[in-house]
Structure 1
Amino acid sequence: MSGAGFQVHGPHDHEVENASLQGTKAGAHAGVAGSRMINQIAMFTAIIATVGAIFSYMAGFTQANAGLFKNNAAIKKTEASNQWNYFQAKSTKQSLAEVSRDLTLSETEKAKYQAKIERYEKEKNEIKAVAEGLEKNATNWDKQSEDQMHQHHRWAQATTCLQVSIALAAIALLTRKKWLQYGMFGVAVAGVGIGIAAMLHI
């Protein structure tokens, strides 16, 4: 019969041919799905890497600010300390003038020392106001430094989450595991959420 130009296939031949066709279709479908997954992960990684770079910059920026503000606080504290030393010196001079006034018998000398005492008292009040203002300023700088440090920790946490997400993306590409892809998305969402908290100073 083969000389007549056609062949008769048995049931087994039909099943083998059908299985082969189904395998080819499934392979093509898996290839398309795999390619789609690769494209999704690649796009996701690029976006997350960009967001992570911004978060990393903000972490460094807030850390630098925290250091700068802490330095400003230290300067103001030193200035306040100098003012309190100056205040103490005026207090000592005032005390000496009061003793001298009380010990002298001359009314002229008493009046002269009294004038000095009043002058020292006025100067002390002015110095005290400056010192207290500097202390308040130092406290404000300390508060700003603490706020910046808190924000820095938030940015650092967000950056770490995004780095873990990118690592999961690489493993998902190599293993083609769907649960790793879900994990990658979940960690990235957590990282972006922490970044938003940092932006809102929470």
Structure 2
Amino acid sequence: MFISLEGIDGSGKSTQAHLLADHLEALGHTVLRTREPGGSSGAEAIRALLVEGDPGRWSPVTELLLYNAARRDNLERRIEPALAAGQWVVTDRWTDSTRVYQSTRGGDRAMVDAMQNLVIGREPDLTFVIDMDPDTALRRGLARPGAEDRFEQLGADFQRTVRDGYAALARDFPDRVRIVDGDADPETVAARVRALLP
């Protein structure tokens, strides 16, 4: 099964991706853990271009192309081989992030979907959106060490718009997307995620 975790920056989705992979491994599954953008060596090189630096360094179309290049490399080199071998895949973000963030930043959702269909062609089997208060998430995101704060620099209003985008995404893909209340300690949220596994 291919599972993605989504949410606004600072929502705890990376922690939940880690805890979910641990849980699946404890059940005896072989799990590929990955992230987006990133996961493969080529995609990790592109990641630095996307998550560091000036928030306005790329136009929405250029950013979309970079995300798809990273995603395709990770899909070809790691995700498809793992799924073909019968492994589970847990990814911290996938195309849904691009759908939400690109639309929020003035991009074209139809173009995102067209690129997804043309270049990627694979949706997760199940997506968990970790939902939480945008102001709290922003404080968490800005408190993290490192330089990967390009989107946090866009502020609380941006976070609120992205949160609304994820709610709309759940309406667009009701068979796949599950909203999980992330306003709790990590283990409580992890239990909420596990309760929604098939």
TM class, shorter-length:
under 0.3
Larger Rg: 1
TM-score of the aligned structures, taking structure 2 as reference length: 0.23
TM-score of the aligned structures, taking structure 1 as reference length: 0.22
Higher strand content, 1 or 2: 2
Higher helix content, 1 or 2: 1
Q: Which has the higher contact order (CA 8 A, sep 6+)?
A: 2
